[in-house]
Amino acid sequence: MGLSDNLKGVILAVASSAFIGSSFILKKKGLKRGGASGIRAGVGGYTYLLEPLWWAGMITMIMGEIANFVAYIYAPAVLVTPLGALSIIVSACLAHFLLNERIQKMGIVGCVSCIVGSVVIVIHAPQEHTPSSVQDIWTLATQPAFLVYVVATLSAVLALVLHFEPHYGQTNILVYLGICSLMGSLTVVSIKAIGIAIKLTLDGMSQIAYPQTWFFLTVAVICVITQLIYLNKALDTFNATLVSPVYYVMFTTFTIIASVIMFKDWSGQNAGSIASEICGLITVLSGTIILHVTREQEPPPPPVGTCRTHHPPLLAGERNHDMVHQWRLLKESRGRTFNHSPPSR
């Protein structure tokens, strides 16, 4: 007896999380090295492209995304996307040891919550319903409810890019990650459509001739490039263990909304299963929030052109000794002044 489609999707999603969680750390180290030798990515620099560690993280992320891509072919987004919580656990553990970004005791509780919530979602996840052609997917993509979602998403992205990024991009993590997450939800539905087209083609029903296939491919490429640009900015500006969970929460939420609207993942499920999935999702999101609030905050990077040298403050004893020494020098200088007779005229 072979593996079910949902189980194949789960295995691929877990492997994807391991690769993606590792890629955050590799890219973060590459971005740090690139920023130390040139202009930081957060302010428009591209010196990180010369760093091997950044490329190692990029390759690792691509491997994770490929595994994730295949997972979406076999399982619904409601099942695959929440399993990305495992990437948070991987990145938090690696950051603790490799980047000295400490994980607190409550952070362990957050990790456990992510795992428990993921298990609940896996148990109650719906079975995948594969469309018979890319034209069927196009019909789902052009239904009024999903078109409203697409228009709202693109409007929000334009507002974030044109208005909020210039004013709040360097201080508010939600700006960069909001762009990544909104575009990511469109990436997922497009990639799922491409994956289904590839699967149908391999099964003997070619979908290459349909213009809808190439439209979904174009949308996916544009969205992925946009995600990478703003994810790099977020990683260079904010703590890696802060970026990962916040990005996951936002990306998961928007992706599930988009998938439920377009692919009708919950159609045919009873209220109990849907409620269990929502509870599992809330548990996972709660775990990521716990990880977020218990992590050490990374100090904001210095403005461009400022010196990075840091002088540690004097300890209390050193301050007292320094004040006594200065007082003695002042007394000696005054004594020398008073003891000298005024010059003769």
Give the tokens for residue 250.
């936002």
| Mean pLDDT value across residues 259-274 | 86
- Give the integer Cα–Cα distance in Å for 130 and 137: 9
Query: Cβ(126)–Cβ(75) under 8 Å?
Result: no
Question: Exposed, middle or buried by CB within 10 Å (0-12, 13-18, 19+), for 323?
Answer: exposed
pLDDT digits (tens, 9 = 90+) for 43-66: 667 777 888 888 998 999 899 988
- Residue 10 has what DSSP assignment? H
Orientation of helix 5-37 relative to helix 52-74, angle to 10°: 160
Place 279 in a pLDDT band, splitting at 50, 70 and 90. Answer: very high
Q: 344 or 29: which carries more pLDDT confidence? A: 29
Instruction: Look at residue 119 in the predicted model and tell me its pLDDT.
Output: 86
pLDDT digits (tens, 9 = 90+) for 312-333: 444 444 444 444 455 455 555 5
Place 302 in a pLDDT band, splitting at 50, 70 and 90. Answer: low
Amino acid at position 315, single letter: L
- Give the integer Cα–Cα distance in Å for 311 and 292: 29
pLDDT digits (tens, 9 = 90+) for 68-89: 888 988 888 888 888 887 887 8
Say how many C-beta atoms besides its own lie within 10 A of residue 119's C-beta.
Answer: 14
Which stretches of 38-76 are DSSP H helices?
52-74
- Give the integer Cα–Cα distance in Å for 99 and 25: 8
Alpha carbon of residue 89 to chain centroid: 13
Amino acid at position 228, single letter: L
Q: 209 or 151: which carries more pLDDT confidence? A: 151
Instruction: Look at residue 306 in the predicted model and tell me its pLDDT.
Output: 47
SS percent in the chain: helix, strand, coil, step 5: 75, 0, 25
Which stretches of 144-297 are DSSP H helices?
144-159, 165-168, 173-202, 211-237, 240-263, 271-293
Query: Cβ(51)–Cβ(84) under 8 Å?
Result: no
| Mean pLDDT value across residues 119-133 | 83
> Average model confidence (pLDDT) for the chain?
81
- Residue 297 has what DSSP assignment? P
Q: Report the percentage of the chain scoring pLDDT > 90.
A: 29
> Which phi and psi angles does 159 have, rounded to 5°?
-65, -40
- Give the integer Cα–Cα distance in Å for 278 and 284: 10
In this model, does residue 341 exceed pLDDT 60? no
pLDDT digits (tens, 9 = 90+) for 183-233: 999 999 999 899 889 988 988 888 998 999 999 999 999 999 999 999 989
Question: Exposed, middle or buried by CB within 10 Å (0-12, 13-18, 19+), for 148?
Answer: exposed
- Helix or strand holding residue 79 (H, E): helix 77-80
- Give the integer Cα–Cα distance in Å for 229 and 223: 10
**Beta-carbon-side half-sphere exposure of residue 108 (alpha carbons within 13 Å):** 2
In this model, does residue 177 exceed pLDDT 50? yes
Task: Give every CB contact of residue 264 below 8 A, 6+ residues apart in sequence.
Answer: 140
Instruction: Look at residue 331 in the predicted model and tell me its pLDDT.
Output: 54
Instruction: Look at residue 298 in the predicted model and tell me its pLDDT.
Output: 55
Instruction: Look at residue 296 in the predicted model and tell me its pLDDT.
Output: 60
- Give the integer Cα–Cα distance in Å for 108 and 219: 38
Instruction: Look at residue 301 in the predicted model and tell me its pLDDT.
Output: 54
3-state secondary structure 99-114: CCCCCCHHHHHHHHHH
Instruction: Look at residue 226 in the predicted model and tell me its pLDDT.
Output: 95
- Give the integer Cα–Cα distance in Å for 296 and 217: 40
Query: Cβ(239)–Cβ(298) under 8 Å?
Result: yes
Instruction: Look at residue 12 in the predicted model and tell me its pLDDT.
Output: 93
Q: 131 or 185: which carries more pLDDT confidence? A: 185
